[in-house]
Chain A
Amino acid sequence: MSSTKLRILVPVKRVIDFAIKPRINKAQTGVETKGVKFSINPFCDIALEESVRIKENSKDLVEKIHAVSIGPSKAKDVLRTALAKGADTSTLVDVGEQEVEPLQVAKMLKKLVERENSNLVILGKQAIDDDSNQTGQILAGLLKWPQATNAFKVELDGESVAVTREVDEGVETVKAKLPLIITTDLRLNEPRYASLQNIMKAKKKPLETLKAADLGIEIENRLETLKVEEPPARSAGVKVETVDELISKLKELKAI
């Protein structure tokens, strides 16, 4: 029985590092990005890890893993990380500092899927900066492929894939034939560290740069951000000195 070889496409986004506390810029038009650390979106990291594990678990099944990022030229760092962790080749679609909405991202990814002849796209379920949770779904619609979102377990079975997803009511397993879109949730896996050897090797792996026009796409955003502001600060609590004071305060607030 020979199964189709997998040509996996993994889109990865460059976002403000998850561990950094974001600040609103002075103009209140967005988040401050100057001097701030950027890294690979954690969910994209998980998507990449899953594709590398699939490759490692079934030796000849995966023909190649292609990573792609749509962002400024600094997004090359994120692609180098992806290559170091196990992607074979990569593409940067350089859009400069322009913000790109999920629909535009999906349109570009569709072109790349056609270019790379991919038959499996694994994406993070959402980016931690805009929390849209749309790109994977829109891409599935554009390609007319089945989609399995919020995956926390992925099992390959010949021509089809069984994906277990976390839903509000619990857990549900869906099965679909390739080609397929999978979006990853947090508990799918724990991404690996990039080893020195692989980081050095990654320097020699292909990283091509394209512009949106090369894919025949003109970026037209449909949303305009009016204002960005911080949530209201928590009002300070009251410190008490003794247990007796605590009890009387709680009584005052009618909590006990």
Chain B
Amino acid sequence: MHRRTLYSLSSTVSLLRRNIRVNQRLVVVSTASYSTKTVAFTADTYSHKVQRDPKFKKLDDADIEFFKGVLTDKGLITDADDLLFYNEDWMRKYRGQSQLVLKPKTTEQVSQILKYCNEQKLAVVPQGGNTGLVGGSNPIFDEIIISLSSMNKIRSFDSVSGILKLDAGVILETADQYLAEQGYIFPLDLGAKGSCHVGGNVACNAGGLRLLRYGSLHGSVLGLEAVLPDGSIYDSMHSLRKDNTGYDLKQLFIGSEGTLGIITGISILCPSRPQTQNVAFLAVSSYEAVQKVFVEARKELSEILSAFEFMDGTSLYLTGKHLKLDNPIESGEYPFYILIETSGSNKEHDDEKLENFLAGAMEAELVDDGIIAQDESQIQSLWSWRESIPEGVTATGGVYKYDVSIPLPELYSLVEACNERLQEAGIVSLEDESKPVVAAVGYGHIGDGNLHLNVSVRKYSSEVESLLEPFVYEWIQSRKGSISAEHGLGFQKKNYIGYSKSPVEINMIKEIKNHYDPNGIMNPYKYV
């Protein structure tokens, strides 16, 4: 009898495992080329671009003693092997040479640390979940890494107003699960949710999968707690939904990428959690069709539309290879796929709206084939196809990422132009292992006009990089787009800010930076 019970338990667990295998974030990739390689130091790879600034002090024992005094031994990491995780970025493209990671537990400690570093001219890099995609949260040289992972408490939640106050080091998924219990939802969602910190999300003004529905962090963040380079604590956590009493200072920090101060606390307005959700996955035959479906979806689904993502055939193919799964649409391979999500409060209403919209789209022959998820497991499976694309394109060995905003009609032309350029240089092939580049693919938040151009490679090389940059940035500039829609500038795009911002804007940014961080200790060598 006992064994019987275990058996039915184990079948339920296997059911779980079967689906969870598809849903894991940041799956450990087993391809040898990716996980066992040693990453070169950023300082070496980019020695032509950046040199260590001699004004910054080199860490000495007196500094270590001071930090131990503030954090005790347990708050410091100095062992080289342990430091590796913090020094390297998620894509294994960048690697710093920091000798020290600090893990403060309170805002007061962060304040003491920054005050000291400012006085001593020690450069620092604030780091959250280390899931950044532009090398913005890793040191270039020996900058001290200040990790927020030990500041991970949810401070309070008001279930009437929906205002959540939490430490910057709370993992996004944890915050959302907490809110789910209360019937609310975090107004931000992205593939890295299992690892990224909300503080990092705010510092980068993360966009994510639901920006279409919930807007940007510039709108949903009500208040911040941040430590300035001189140690003073900026605190607007008490903030209310409406408060017009002076300059909106928190906006300076949102998207500042750690260059103005360290965010330690966030007050954010959370919407009610939708009670019903539907996901449809569609196959279409052209980029024009993608745009038409988008226009129709926005019109017919209007207030229940919560996500509209697209991907090209090659990204689906690479993802399927990585996850070891068959294409969800069985009738064949198509050039483009769309994922539509609706969220609302009334199941019958939403089901009817979605089915009417899709019936119309099929009749008008906009959509060639498609599927609608029938239960929660299928919803999660379909989303994981979209959310696993970054892993799928990196699993080949590496990836060059370009996150851009371009006027919708031209969005995909960038991918085509890239592929053409790579073909002409004879360095790209899906099957031929000798070619450095696998393919240039496009996917992303088309609902926001945001394309993720990913050039999937077998290994990073300056030959490939020089073919792509500044070609991609010049192409975008000529269409007056943004060279970084949501990933930020970090280290990767530090020299390219000029492609999207005017000299006047750049000057204003520099002046604000110099005013608040005169010694330049906050995340140096990055975009400002």
Contact = CB atoms under 8 A, between A and B. Distances in A.
B359 A19 contact: no
Contacts of B369: 195-197
Nearest to A17: B376
Contacts of A91: none
A83 to B, nearest CB: 12
Contacts of B376: 17-20, 37, 39
Interface string B140-151: 000000000000
B3 A168 contact: yes
A242 B74 contact: yes
Interface string B10-51: 011011000100000000000000000000000000000000
Contacts of B282: 196
A200 B4 CA distance: 41
A163 B274 CA distance: 44
A192 B330 contact: yes
Interface stretch (A95-103, A125-133, A218-226, A246-254): A125-133
Contacts of B331: 195
A165 B74 CA distance: 54
Interface string A176-200: 0000000001110000111111011
B11 A196 contact: no
A35 interface: yes
Interface string A24-58: 00000000000101011010010000000000000
Given A19-B377, A37-B276, A42-B15, A200 B362 contact: yes
Nearest to B4: A168
B375 A19 contact: yes
B245 interface: no
Contacts of A18: 15, 375-377
Nearest to A37: B376
Contacts of A200: 355, 359, 362
A186 B375 CA distance: 17
A114 interface: no
A133 B355 CA distance: 35
Contacts of B362: 196-197, 200
B374 interface: yes
B275 A35 contact: yes
Interface in B261-287: 275-276, 280-282
Given A18-B377, A186-B14, A193-B378, A199 B372 contact: yes
A199 B14 contact: no
Interface residues of A, number: 31
Contacts, number: 77
A126 B374 CA distance: 20
A203 B331 CA distance: 21
Contacts of A131: 8
A40 B369 CA distance: 23
A39 B12 contact: no
B328 A196 contact: no
Most chain A CB neighbours (cut-off 10 Å) among B275, B369, B374: B374
Contacts of A133: 8
B7 interface: yes
Nearest to B275: A35
B15 A186 contact: yes
B102 interface: no
A89 B487 CA distance: 51
B371 A196 contact: yes
A118 interface: no
A137 interface: no
B380 interface: yes
Contacts of A85: 374
A128 B374 CA distance: 17
A168 B378 CA distance: 30
A17 B276 CA distance: 12
Given A19-B19, A19-B375, A126-B8, A196 B380 contact: no
Interface in A148-173: 168
B367 interface: yes
A34 to B, nearest CB: 10
B407 interface: no
A20 to B, nearest CB: 6
Contacts of A242: 74
A135 interface: no
Contacts of B375: 17-19, 37, 39-40, 45
A196 B374 contact: no
B373 interface: yes
A90 interface: no
A81 interface: yes
A128 B19 CA distance: 16
A241 interface: yes
Given A18-B377, A195-B370, A197-B362, 14 more contacts: A19-B380, A20-B376, A37-B375, A39-B376, A42-B377, A84-B374, A193-B281, A193-B372, A194-B374, A195-B371, A196-B370, A196-B372, A199-B358, A241-B74
Interface of A: 17-20, 35, 37, 39-40, 42, 45, 81, 84-85, 126, 128, 131, 133, 168, 185-187, 192-197, 199-200, 241-242
A-B CB proximity, top 6 nearest: A39-B375, A19-B376, A193-B371, A196-B370, A17-B376, A186-B11
